[in-house]
Chain A
């Protein structure tokens, strides 16, 4: 069983959630395929103006 395992992960969706998963896995030693249907990553968060509580620019 162990021998059949593959050390790579596919992450579907390039929004804040997908990006975080992809970064964590890549930094932990796994090859990551990040799949996003749009032309750029960032998801809905990139459309937000500012975020609570720091009022940091969401970008």
Chain B
């Protein structure tokens, strides 16, 4: 009401300025909290003392113009800075016409255009005339990798990937004929599964990738079109007309944040990101203050999520001994026993604003529901999920003595847990709840047919009521969580994880199959930030071996895992003897190995070596390195090609770093890097710049025209086609360093132990690519480091800490509850056929070994996931799925039958 009446229209920043909103507003319909606010910078009343329309119209008198900003002082043990970034504003780039031409957009604006909740409801229309575009161009590196026109020398790391995503989604919205062209310098798709996405965009979706920096956009007179002039890879000048241009703007730290950092005494990098070290990637220069997200360096969502968990682990390490001193226990309401009581069902029907009520005739559904069997009360709510509606629901449960609840609303996927919490708060078992999905599966999909949608809502409510009437309270088994952690893999990641567990007070077992700790880091010379890896590694190994909370098991393999979340029992085998280890959680940090090349003459000549061989020489300060006249690095050896369609992420930076080392040892040396795309993401771009300044020569080669390494016993030469001159070159050198791919060690057996899977490339599959990067779908099992995907040391350590932070959220609970929705075996009917035992993916059913029903199937409720496979497969009808029992399913079917 307030927003409706507010006369002041201002720019909607949520829609990136593409639409207007009022001064009294809610940012977007899904905003949390979903509360209207008044923008003090534009409100007429607050600025001029007149208007107050919102206050007059507000039916609940919620508008208070007298609220003033308050300053509060709070004392905390630690601070985590996650203030984010701002997108670069391309207004100053006059040659791109952004400020002048409506059809030149930023990528964030285009993101809003693609969104169903955006200003065009997801219809891709160009702003000037709302015409469907036929051709859209993306310009990469706007406000990134650019010191001429802005001060952002670094790479923003995310723009290549989002541009490809936007192009593909635009094609989905507009149709396959939409011509999408991405103009870029280096295509940086260095994340997990990114290279394949790029490859598919190019070869399947037909997105055009043009390696060129467009200089100027000119409006085409008399039209709203835009003319681009650019130079192709072959050096030809091209002119092409597009309907729209999207500028892929980079990330930068806002000025206010730079000032705040100065006040806080936080050191910043050259690019204005919080300075951190590779071995403490989320620790700022000020003790007790940690950093995560884009303020730590430009990064994508998964990396931000990793850092954030890492920052919470770092804070928790610091405060481990005062844990649980500031938190409050939530009060547990005793559960009312309703077993055997006649069902008294309460039906709540949600309007969901206009989402449901705009289509479904809610009052009619309420009227209908009130007449259904066992229904004690039927009522409606504007937003059933709002706090006041929830409070009212709890009151009604008590007042009317309701013992079953049906909620006809949005979707159980997002809201069931919330409503169940309300039941619990009112003393009802949370399983006495059923949701009828009248939004996602009704009002949204039948919005053109409101009458039938109303009938369908009635059907769904009737089915839900019949089912819940047969529902009984279910018990969740409470299981203790063993407070010991196991970490598999003694490389950098595994050690960092073990250390973080120990620092947070947990007994930890670190299992390593080789004879020593250190993993691949033993072969590495220097980080991208210039830290000596051997020095830091030695310190780290020392801190692990001297920590009496960490038990290191060298030359040990994991040979069996029994049990489940909170109660694993693993078998550790070492030189023929087995040891049983009970632990509550496990972190898999099994690492990766370098690819052994068969190409480029590797193994035929001592001068042809891998990057790691070169690191070894650098570690040993091999005097021969200074004497080299020429060295060539060849990138992507075994990466980014059929069979291994992923980027190994760290090799570009690694070779650049080593090239710099060689140049610094001997500035006269000719150093060449032969590459496909330089992927020096984030501030690693500065290293790339430094290498060029030192005279390292970068030559790009094409995958169809790989360099040739020739050795005739004396001369070592490399033939490559120069990408600028388009001419063949012969480089005579004394060393060829091959930047080889990173291949995961993850073995299937280990995966099977914990029921975790690997992807086509052999890397472990995390729970969620974006939001669960450091944990598995299997509860209680976590992952980090190279076993997840190739990454440098700082990112490995961050993920190690992140996996621990996630694991500690489980350990801290002390107990876990199994779901109540589990299978139950009736031993009287069981014929001991064993189908359930063999079919269950979770090993939940087994034959009882003792007692009256020895030999009959029984289900371990802690292992059962409630999938129902065994129930469907049981030929004796001995298995039941609690909460979804046969009679409940059948009654729903019968009730549905009434509808047709």
Q: Which residues of A contact B (CB under 8 A)?
A: 2, 5-13, 15-31, 33, 38-56, 59
| Cα–Cα, bound, A17→B74 (Å) | 22
| Cα–Cα, bound, A16→B613 (Å) | 40
Write the nearest CB–CB distance from A43 to chain B, whole angstroms: 6
When C-beta atoms are compared, the residue in chain A nearest to B806 turns out to be A24
Residues of A within 8 Å of B318, CB to CB, are: 5
Write the nearest CB–CB distance from A34 to chain B, whole angstroms: 9
Taking A28-B323, A29-B323 as contacts, is the C-beta distance between A6 and B32 under 8 angstroms?
Answer: no
When C-beta atoms are compared, the residue in chain A nearest to B303 turns out to be A17
When C-beta atoms are compared, the residue in chain A nearest to B27 turns out to be A40
**Nearest 4 A-B pairs (CB), nearest first?**
A17-B293, A27-B809, A31-B326, A18-B82
Q: Are B82 and A12 in contact (CB under 8 A)?
A: yes
Residues of A within 8 Å of B169, CB to CB, are: 49-50, 55
Q: Are B308 and A10 in contact (CB under 8 A)?
A: no
Query: Among A7, A10, A46, which residue has its beta carbon within 8 angstroms of that of B80?
Result: A10
| Cα–Cα, bound, A29→B87 (Å) | 35
B263 at the interface (CB under 8 A from A): no
Q: Are A49 and B115 in contact (CB under 8 A)?
A: yes
When C-beta atoms are compared, the residue in chain B nearest to A51 turns out to be B770
Query: How many residues of B are counted as interface, with CB atoms below 8 angstroms from the partner's CB atoms?
Result: 73
Interface CB pairs A-B, < 8 A, 24: A2-B322, A7-B322, A7-B323, A7-B324, A9-B319, A12-B83, A13-B82, A13-B83, A16-B301, A18-B292, A21-B82, A21-B309, A21-B312, A24-B809, A27-B809, A28-B323, A28-B504, A28-B812, A40-B26, A44-B108, A46-B28, A47-B111, A48-B111, A53-B769
Taking A10-B80, A21-B309 as contacts, is the C-beta distance between A49 and B111 under 8 angstroms?
Answer: yes
Q: Are A21 and B292 in contact (CB under 8 A)?
A: yes
Grouping DSSP codes into helix (H, G, I), strand (E, B) and loop, the A interface class, with mixed when no group exceeds half, is: mixed
Write the nearest CB–CB distance from B3 to chain A, whole angstroms: 13
| Cα–Cα, bound, A26→B30 (Å) | 23
Residues of A within 8 Å of B293, CB to CB, are: 13, 15-18
When C-beta atoms are compared, the residue in chain B nearest to A52 turns out to be B165
Q: Are A15 and B82 in contact (CB under 8 A)?
A: yes
Binary contact track B114-148/A, C-beta < 8 Å → 1, others 0:
11111000100000000000000000000000000
Taking A9-B76, A9-B77, A10-B79 as contacts, is the C-beta distance between A28 and B312 under 8 angstroms?
Answer: yes
Q: Are A17 and B292 in contact (CB under 8 A)?
A: yes
Taking A7-B326, A17-B84, A17-B292 as contacts, is the C-beta distance between A28 and B307 under 8 angstroms?
Answer: no
| Cα–Cα, bound, A55→B168 (Å) | 10
Interface centre among A41, A43, A44, A45 (most CB of B within 10 A): A44
Taking A7-B322, A10-B80 as contacts, is the C-beta distance between A53 and B327 under 8 angstroms?
Answer: no
Query: Among A17, A27, A48, which residue has its beta carbon within 8 angstroms of that of B304?
Result: A17
Q: Are A30 and B316 in contact (CB under 8 A)?
A: yes
Query: Among B84, B116, B307, which residue has its beta carbon within 8 angstroms of that of A44?
Result: B84
Query: Among A9, A26, A59, which residue has its beta carbon within 8 angstroms of that of B78?
Result: A9
Near A by CB (< 8 A), chain B positions 803-830 give 805-806, 808-809, 812-813
Near A by CB (< 8 A), chain B positions 73-112 give 74-85, 87, 108, 111-112
| Cα–Cα, bound, A8→B311 (Å) | 14
Write the nearest CB–CB distance from B303 to chain A, whole angstroms: 10
When C-beta atoms are compared, the residue in chain B nearest to A59 turns out to be B30
Q: Are B80 and A54 in contact (CB under 8 A)?
A: no
Write the nearest CB–CB distance from B302 to chain A, whole angstroms: 10
B305 at the interface (CB under 8 A from A): yes
B215 at the interface (CB under 8 A from A): no
Residues of A within 8 Å of B83, CB to CB, are: 12-13, 18
B294 at the interface (CB under 8 A from A): yes
When C-beta atoms are compared, the residue in chain A nearest to B808 turns out to be A28
Taking A8-B76, A18-B80, A28-B323 as contacts, is the C-beta distance between A45 and B114 under 8 angstroms?
Answer: no
Write the nearest CB–CB distance from B36 to chain A, whole angstroms: 9
When C-beta atoms are compared, the residue in chain B nearest to A45 turns out to be B301
Write the nearest CB–CB distance from B882 to chain A, whole angstroms: 27
Residues of B within 8 Å of A20, CB to CB, are: 292, 304-305, 308-309, 312
Taking A10-B74, A50-B165 as contacts, is the C-beta distance between A42 and B31 under 8 angstroms?
Answer: yes
| Cα–Cα, bound, A49→B169 (Å) | 9
| Cα–Cα, bound, A31→B85 (Å) | 26
Taking A5-B319, A9-B76 as contacts, is the C-beta distance between A53 and B81 under 8 angstroms?
Answer: no
